[in-house]
Amino acid sequence: MLNVVKAELRKLRRPTLFFGTIGAALFFTSLITTFIYRMIDSPEGNGDRGRVITREILGLASGSVNGFASVGWFLGIIALCVFAAQTGQEYTYGTLRNLLVRQPSRIKILIGKLFSMIVFTLIMITLALFVNIAISYILAPSAKVDTNLWFTADGLQAISTTYVNVTISVIGYGIVGMILGLLLRSPIIAISFGVLWLLIIEQSLILVKESLQNWFPGSQLSAIASGGTLFLTYKHALTVGGLYVTVGAIIASILFVRRDVAN
């Protein structure tokens, strides 16, 4: 198993992939965090979908990671793309047969791949957290946001809770990407399908019928990152989102183990 993780990390540390992905994650973390502080007085709101995040909210103990929680869904989309690409490419390049000749246990290949991508994701999330806190701390005085509670015991607790929530959410998105990569056997199709569903189809359907967000996977994963929303409790999102990921992972794993490798 450890050999699989080492081999997969060798692929993930490729500079274009590593710095490109981490760079995109940090860029959007910086952008969203900057918007929250720079547009704090904007009548159009400073949060997603016109939501207003006030000075009072940002001044709470959890204020330092408000931007980080908001960017969670985006980190999730990045994870979905990376996981789907790393899984689907084994089929399109035909490299899966090389892997299976060197490690015939397909479950070990799958779990090793997952672990290595989780390591990659943890690096991305941790760096995004630090960048978010740093930018928030730098921009808070000019936005007249009080930071006194940010690094108290409650503040640190809020940082760790948000970090855990975002991590669960992002890994959930990643596993969805991996499931799509295994089922569709092509990175392009898997990423297109995943992004199209999460960003367009799911959102459009929720606009038509709001109650659908109680059951759609993207809404659950996004709500986990935010620690729950006005419409979705954290517990509900964790249960339904967890069910999606678990059932999908079981089906994809069974198919991966049993399916002939004919390309």
Partner 1 sequence: MTNTAISVSDLSKKYEDRLAVSHINFEVPLGTVCGFVGPNGSGKTTTMRMLLGLITPTTGQGHILGEPIEHPEKYLSRVGAMIEGPAFYPALSGYENLMVLAKLGGFPIERVQQLLDKVGLGDRGKSKFKTYSLGMKQRLGIAAALLPEPKLLMLDEPTNGLDPEGIQEVRALLRDLANEGTTVFVSSHLLSELEIISDYIVMLRKGEIVFAGPIGELMAKQQPTIIAKSLKKSDLKRIVEIAEAAGHHAVIRDDSVHVLADMKWAAVLNEAAFEAGITLAQLAPQLPNLEETFFEMTGDK
Provide the binding-site residues for partner 1, judged by CB under 8 A: 3-4, 6-7, 10-11, 14, 16-17, 89, 93-95, 97-105, 260-263
Q: Would residue 185 be called left, alpha or beta, if left means φ above 0 and alpha means ψ between -120 and 50 degrees?
A: left
Closest contact distance (angstroms) between CB of 22 and partner 1 is 17
Task: Look up tokens 């995109």; give the residue.
Answer: 24
Closest contact distance (angstroms) between CB of 192 and partner 1 is 20
* Comparison of 24 and 100: residue with beta carbon closer to partner 1: 100
Give one DSSP letter per residue of 232-247, joined into a string: S-HHHHHHHHHHHHHH
Give the Cα separation of 181 and 169 in Å (integer). 18
* Comparison of 4 and 128: residue with beta carbon closer to partner 1: 4
Closest contact distance (angstroms) between CB of 92 and partner 1 is 10
Give the Cα separation of 124 and 167 in Å (integer). 10
Closest contact distance (angstroms) between CB of 139 and partner 1 is 37
* Comparison of 43 and 104: residue with beta carbon closer to partner 1: 104
Looking at residue 39, its amino acid is: M
* Comparison of 103 and 233: residue with beta carbon closer to partner 1: 103
User: 3-class SS at 51?
Assistant: coil
Spell 9-37 as b/e; 16+ CB within 10 A means b: eeebeeeeeeeebbebbbebbbebbebbb
Whether residue 36 contacts residue 70, with contact meaning beta carbons closer than 8 Å, is answered with: yes
* Comparison of 1 and 199: residue with beta carbon closer to partner 1: 1
Closest contact distance (angstroms) between CB of 176 and partner 1 is 23
Give the Cα separation of 48 and 73 in Å (integer). 11
* Comparison of 36 and 190: residue with beta carbon closer to partner 1: 190
Closest contact distance (angstroms) between CB of 25 and partner 1 is 20
